[in-house]
Amino acid sequence: MNIFEALRESHDRQRGYAKTLIKTSGDTPERVEAYKQLKAELQAHETAEERHFYIPLMEFDNGVDLSRHAIAEHHEMDEMMEELDETEMSSPAWLATAKKLSDKVHHHLKEEEQKFFQMAGKLLDDKQKEQLAGQYEKEFKAQLP
């Protein structure tokens, strides 16, 4: 497995959790669970991805801006999750923020897969892609609650 395949597995889960989340309503067990799953997945993914994908890419001149942009988007998603944590789950504001988060997740994943992966594919050699996948997987599992 290479780093792109490893990241894509988590991306697919994120898309599913985000879709499920915005279909929930009120302060229900379904919403609590959907948010818990998305939040855990996002936080573990962001940390592992930054350490074992974006930091290595920053060693290349072409990788710096791309990495900074992606990490800034991770930060935006973290801020939205903080906002969700501080908002009453049954309020309309909660769902509005959840929808913003879902939109950001979908935008971010699409951008990564369609732009960043192509550039990173040119910067990293096959051995690096495989090593990073192993490091990413290990870190991802360690970050899960």
Note the CATH number of domain 3-143: 1.20.120.520
- In this predicted model, what pLDDT tens digit does every residue of 27-74 receive, in sequence order? 999 999 999 999 999 999 999 999 999 999 999 999 999 999 999 999
Question: Residue 3's closest CA among 66, 48, 59?
Answer: 48
> What is the reported pLDDT for 94?
97
The mean pLDDT value for 104-127 works out to 97
pTM recorded for the entire structure:
0.95
Tokens coding 13: 């889960």
Q: 47-85: string of b/e by CB count within 10 Å (b at 16+)?
A: ebbbbbbbebbeeeeebeebbeebeebbeebeebbebbe
User: What's residue 97's pLDDT?
Assistant: 98
Ranges of each domain in the chain: 3-143
pLDDT computed for residue 134 by the predictor? 98
- Mean pLDDT for the stretch of residues 17-24: 96
pLDDT at residue 145 is higher than 90:
no
Q: What is the mean pLDDT of the chain?
A: 97
